[in-house]
Structure 1
Amino acid sequence: MARESIEWALSHGLISNGHRLRRADASGLAGRACPEGPVDRLRLLADLISWLFVMDDACDEDGLGAAPTQLAPTVAALLDVLDGHGIPTDGPAPAGPLGAALGDLCQRVRDAGTPGFLLRFVGEVREYLLALLWEAANREHGRVPELAEYVQMRRHTGAVHPSFTLTELAAGVLPDAASRTEPALVALDLLAADLVCWCNDVFSYGKENLARPDVHNLVAVIAAGGTGSDESSALRAAADRFNESLSAYLTTEAVILATGDDRLRPAVTARRNWIRATYDWSLAAARYA
């Protein structure tokens, strides 16, 4: 599946070679997050993760996200793809290769799921793109966000929600609206998103701080928060925050499972898998080496 996902990225012109994506191991992350899904739907999840890696690298490492005015035309073109739900139009593909690949993802979600699932996916990717503009504005002004603000926005810049959605699709889970609005599942969803993002922050901090220091990391935000934390203390504080939220996650998960509501069990499994997958993948992948 790794070779196919890199070939997909190459075919859409997202990359000129597979070096970065091989180090990122999107298929390995997808397989850990949904170990029993059918190959075609795991490919869809892996291709989404590959697209997100390319977009993130363009913003973080290649300068696209250095300022909102620089990023905005790309975001606008990608929003145009989402507004059309990925339906091809005449003329050149909006946003070039990024837009063509995003359109392909939307079309495949349409074919594999339900209209509601496509709308959910489109909305979540839209939130991700708009959150990237928030990051770009912070970079332009050298602004470090407050911790509460960072926690909220990180759920979107991490693109966790569209990843959860395609994981549920790969697992054959199509929760109805009533299930998704259950307060306990909403709380679990937010905790799972935080845990995935903060795990990523802790593992990526060394590489990010060495190569191109960026304030968009839980460790950096804690260190800059006026508490007098040095780097070592901030890393420990980030790990402590992760462990506290993991405890809260397990408590919330137990409450959901105790209800015996089988509608919620697959969604719970998908989120638990993502938390563990992120940790295991972070240890093994070369992306943050």
Structure 2
Amino acid sequence: MSTTHEEATLATQEEMRAASLKELIDDHLYMPYPFLRNRHESEAVAGVDAWLHKWGLTDEPGVAAMIGYTRPAELASYNSPTVDSGILQIVADQIAYQFVFDDRAEEIGRQSPALLLPMLCESIAILRDGEPPRTPLGAALADLHRRVRERCTPAQAERWAWKSREYVHGLLYEAVAQAHPFPVGMGLCNSIRSLTAGVEPFYPLCESAGPCELTPEFLGDPVVQRLGRLSADAAVWIPDLFSAVKEQRTGGMINVALAHQRAHQASLPEAVLLAIRQINATIIEFESLHEEMKAELSAAGAGYVDGMVGWIRGCYYWSRTVPRYADTAVASAHPCGPFGLLYPAGRTA
């Protein structure tokens, strides 16, 4: 945290009234953005089901149930509340695809990272070279790539493909980290998580919803790039808070709360509070930078940054209710130990 915000309001264990981890998160996470949803959400839900069926992905054991637990169209609706139905459907389908791909990669990677190479190389070949797919997952990705090229400008589609390739590489890094005999440190965990988040491929889709293509000068501006990094980090770290119970149970390593738990030899509630402090600082920095440049933004630029806001907001409201993270509502928030916090002095939720 910056020197301006590094003083935290400490709370003793007795002052922590939260009974569950979910209540603990809700009590301390700084969320300045209100809940919103897209009016085309129900159409997107039906569209995701049809799209997964079309490409044979729900033929795989457990996929249909996983989609029911994760609700990808709901996440798309929450993080893209103002886009038209066409873009919303692409966003929802891509989220669903990434959920399937991520679970498959985790299952295979736990056996050996090397076993991931065929599916990852197929994805890279599709995204980089336009190679024909060899598997149902590859066919679904090729369809997404085609639809993005149809909806976006060539430059936007190329940025989408580039960021999607980063996501693919991140899954290999995660598998290597999971297979390593010693846990990775906080820095490496954050670096890998920023790739496996898969948030940044959606920014060009948000841009395509605007009135015009953004200039390379705008996209390359250090402040805009910093906003993108802060948004992606906050958007993925927030679900990490809610998934920490599940990840701890299954031996997951790349999770911001579990990284704090390892680094500080803390209980899970203590680690969640430390992770919340990190997330709050990230959101506050994002807010501050956004406010500073608001007056200078064009309509297209404002919409682009609003898309980043959408991912922070959407991931929070989705994580609170999605069935996949239901364990958080019953996991105890005690003991909290000495790491109580949390808003920088003078701030409230």
TM-score (norm 2): 0.76
Alignment equivalent of 2:253, drawn from 202, 215, 218: 215
Residue 84 of structure 1 corresponds to 129
Identity, % of aligned positions? 26
Whole-angstrom distance in 2 between the partners of 1:36 and 1:261: 17
Residues 200-258 of structure 1: per-residue CA shift (max 9 Å, x gap):
11011112222x12111011111112x33232211110011111111111111111213
Residue 142 of structure 2 corresponds to 103
Instruction: Give the conservation status (yes or no) of the 8 Å contact 2:238–2:315.
Output: yes
Q: How many residues align?
A: 280
Alignment equivalent of 2:219, drawn from 167, 170, 180: 180
Alignment equivalent of 2:304, drawn from 261, 267, 270: 267
Residue 36 of structure 1 corresponds to 82
Greater RCO (CA < 8 Å, at least 6 residues apart): 2
Residues 104-156 of structure 1: per-residue CA shift (max 9 Å, x gap):
00000111111111111111111111111111111122342221222222111
Q: Amino acid of the residue matched to residue 63 of structure 1?
A: I
Residue 51 of structure 1 corresponds to 97
Alignment equivalent of 2:116, drawn from 49, 52, 71: 71
Instruction: Give the Å deviation of 1:10.
Output: 1.5
Is residue 296 of structure 2 the alignment partner of residue 251 of structure 1?
A: no
| Structure 1 segments unaligned to the other structure (5+ residues) | none
Q: Amino acid of the residue matched to residue 288 of structure 1?
A: Y
Residue 45 of structure 2 corresponds to 2
Aligned to 1:214, what secondary structure does the other structure show?
A: coil
Whole-angstrom distance in 2 between the partners of 1:172 and 1:18: 37
Q: Amino acid of the residue matched to residue 54 of structure 1?
A: V
**For 1:131-150, what aligned pairs fall within 5 Å after superposition?**
131-150=170-189
Instruction: Give the Å deviation of 1:263.
Output: 4.2
Instruction: Give the conservation status (yes or no) of the 8 Å contact 2:234–2:312.
Output: yes
Q: Amino acid of the residue matched to residue 67 of structure 2?
A: L
Instruction: Give the conservation status (yes or no) of the 8 Å contact 2:206–2:304.
Output: no
Q: Amino acid of the residue matched to residue 287 of structure 1?
A: R
TM-score (norm 1): 0.91
- Specify the structure having the higher radius of gyration (Cα): 2
Residues 139-176 of structure 1: per-residue CA shift (max 9 Å, x gap):
12234222122222211111010123323334566322
Q: Amino acid of the residue matched to residue 249 of structure 1?
A: F
Over the aligned positions, Cα root-mean-square deviation in angstroms equals: 1.7
| Structure 2 segments unaligned to the other structure (5+ residues) | 1-43, 327-349
- Larger mean Cα displacement after TM superposition, 98-107 or 167-176: 167-176
Q: Amino acid of the residue matched to residue 168 of structure 2?
A: L
Q: 1:117 to 1:260 in 2, by over 3 A?
A: closer
Whole-angstrom distance in 2 between the partners of 1:260 and 1:45: 24
Residue 125 of structure 1 corresponds to 164
Q: Amino acid of the residue matched to residue 258 of structure 1?
A: A
Aligned to 1:142, what secondary structure does the other structure show?
A: coil
Instruction: Give the conservation status (yes or no) of the 8 Å contact 1:65–1:135.
Output: no
